[in-house]
């Protein structure tokens, strides 16, 4: 049986998009974690202020990236079935 080259092309194009979005989400999540970590530092004579505006912007960007990642993963999984490639698994971790 001849492979479905169109589905294969769409699969790899979507996978590339998925990897780019995933890397960007990882970077933004790291920035947010660093901000939170710095805000939790305890020092008796220093008040470390938390930049809530930047944190909110980062969180909004992460939320938007998550939504986009879900769409791209669904797209990948549709084409994975057509060309015999592995699907993207979705894990949900509560706080």
The pLDDT of residue 94:
83
Q: Please tell me the total count of domains within the chain.
A: 1
pLDDT tens digits, the chain, 95 residues: what are they? 677 899 999 999 999 999 999 999 999 999 999 999 888 777 788 888 889 999 999 999 999 999 999 999 999 999 998 999 999 999 988 87
The pLDDT of residue 49:
85
Q: Whole-prediction pTM value?
A: 0.85
The pair phi, psi for residue 33, each rounded to 5°, is -60, -40
Let me know if residue 90 belongs to a domain. no
Let me know if residue 89 belongs to a domain. no
Nearest to 36 by CA among 56, 16, 21, 18: 56
Let me know if residue 94 belongs to a domain. no
| Residue that is written with structure tokens 């990642």 in the block | 69
Let me know if residue 63 belongs to a domain. yes
Domain that holds residue 77: 5-83
Let me know if residue 92 belongs to a domain. no
Give dist(CA 33, CA 27) in Å, integer.
10
The pLDDT of residue 40:
79
Let me know if residue 66 belongs to a domain. yes
């Amino acid at each position: 049986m001849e492979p479905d080259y169109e589905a294969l092309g769409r699969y790899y194009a979507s996978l590339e998009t998925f990897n780019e979005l995933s890397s960007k989400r990882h970077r933004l999540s790291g920035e947010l974690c660093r901000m939170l970590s710095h805000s939790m530092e305890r020092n008796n004579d220093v008040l470390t202020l938390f930049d809530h505006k930047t944190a909110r912007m980062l969180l909004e960007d992460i939320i938007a990236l998550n939504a986009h990642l879900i769409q791209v993963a669904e797209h990948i999984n549709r084409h994975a079935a057509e060309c015999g490639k592995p699907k993207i698994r979705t894990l949900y971790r509560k706080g």
